[in-house]
């Protein structure tokens, strides 16, 4: 299993814990507090992060544009640089280099 996928699994489980804490607290207090909103927001951020890691760890992670001239948005250029960097650590590529 890819290290990115493994990190994504751990992060998504942490997001689920944050969601659980927020919902259980809300149900017990019968009101929404700043702490509950914080745990919900943290859960959403962790969910987005986990999804990103899982995409990078999947076979689809390499399907993003890999050359900056094929990118149509500025942030796509950054993603393509990250994709090329992370692809260099893929086990298949390391074996090919030997």
Q: Which two tokens stand for residue 1?
A: 């299993």
**Cβ pair 66, 84 in contact under 8 A:** yes
Q: Is the pLDDT of residue 70 over 60?
A: no
Judge residue 89's burial from the number of C-beta atoms within 10 Å of its C-beta, 0-12 exposed, 13-18 middle, 19 or more buried. Answer: exposed
Q: Is the pLDDT of residue 85 over 80?
A: no
The model's pLDDT over 28-55, given as tens digits with 9 standing for 90+, comes to 999 999 999 999 999 999 999 999 988 8
Q: Where are the domains of the chain?
A: 1-61, 64-98
Higher pLDDT, 56 or 94: 56
List of residues 6+ apart from 41 with CB closer than 8 A: none
pLDDT band at 93 (very low <50, low <70, confident <90, very high): low
d(CA 30, CA 75): 41
The model's pLDDT over 5-24, given as tens digits with 9 standing for 90+, comes to 889 999 999 999 999 999 99
């Amino acid at each position: 299993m890819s290290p990115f996928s493994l990190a994504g699994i751990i992060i998504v489980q942490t997001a689920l814990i944050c969601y659980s804490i927020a919902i259980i607290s809300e149900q017990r207090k019968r009101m929404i507090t700043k702490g509950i909103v914080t745990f919900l927001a943290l859960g959403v951020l962790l969910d987005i992060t986990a999804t990103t890691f899982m995409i990078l760890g999947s076979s689809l992670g390499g399907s993003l544009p890999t050359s900056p001239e094929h990118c149509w948005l500025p942030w796509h250029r950054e993603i393509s640089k990250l994709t090329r960097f992370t692809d260099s650590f893929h086990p298949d590529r390391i074996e090919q280099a030997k």
